[in-house]
Structure 1
């Protein structure tokens, strides 16, 4: 068997779940995800665990929030005038915008009334521990 090491380009199948078992994302039914191990292309906690696995191996990895999308940051939640969002926006809507530094960012509408809107710029999975079932399908080069 071929053991995966940092710098290898691998193809993996994965299923990501919240700690309660509810599915978040999966590569099942699509092409495997191709990535360079150790290059920071996926969340750190999962990237580290793939190194040392063997082709064909399946494992379950629990990734704490700190090593996934980070903790929920209250400073990224802001209330603004309702006029900053388009008409027809509802709670739960994801919007793209430009941050104060000019960088593109995504926000989620988490509160809304006739005068103001509350926007959350945290990743939707921030603060969540994640569980991955991951299978190394192949090492493309190493």
Structure 2
């Protein structure tokens, strides 16, 4: 079996930045699984594994435009601290903000007495990503997975997601 649309792919990966600093690593843990061809994987990695089979190993370098996009300065915003009344915003805290473009996940990047600065960019936006990948297992998607365009609990991706969130890697 080869990787193509509607195949559930389970893989291990090691992700590093341009300085070879490890960002994430699934080796020795549960492999990440996703439904191929349904926009639940970054485009560059999905394209790189297309046609591969279980047991294949590869090294992939992905530019920002084929990963999490370029960093957009306008997605950073200072919000008056008073808007967080009753909350205690901390550096690194993530939440969903209502924006003109709809709900957007944001990360708190600075907190002062007057303002809380949030960033709507993905943490890996603007970065070239380096993946070491091992394809572990392939299977046909279930009818329910195909209907919904994503994996279900019995074929989960190995980590938790919020309601309606797809696999991010």
TM bin (shorter chain): 0.7 to 0.9
CA contact (8 A) 1:10 1:34 kept: yes
Match of 1:50 in 2: 49
TM (norm. structure 2) is: 0.73
1:37-62 deviation digits (Å, cap 9, x = unpaired): 22211111001111122321110000
CA contact (8 A) 1:96 1:104 kept: no
1:46-101 deviation digits (Å, cap 9, x = unpaired): 011111223211100001111111111111111121122356434x3223133135
Cα RMSD (Å) of the superposition? Answer: 2.1
Match of 1:63 in 2: 62
Structure 2: distance between partners of 1:37 and 1:95: 28
- Structure 1: runs of 5 or more not aligned: none
1:114-138 deviation digits (Å, cap 9, x = unpaired): 2122211111111111111111112
Structure 2: distance between partners of 1:94 and 1:126: 18
Aligned pairs (5 A) from 1:1-142 = 2-85=1-84, 88-90=88-90, 92-101=91-100, 103-141=102-140
Cα 1:109/1:10, change in 2 over 3 Å = closer
* Alpha-carbon distance, 1:113 to partner: 2.1
- Identify the structure with the greater helix proportion: 2
Structure 2: distance between partners of 1:27 and 1:37: 19
Structure 2: distance between partners of 1:81 and 1:29: 44
Q: What is the aligned residue count?
A: 140
SS in 2 for 1:83: helix
CA contact (8 A) 2:89 2:116 kept: no
CA contact (8 A) 1:13 1:137 kept: yes
**Which stretch of structure 1 is more off in the superposition, 95-104 or 14-23?**
95-104
- Structure 2: runs of 5 or more not aligned: 142-169
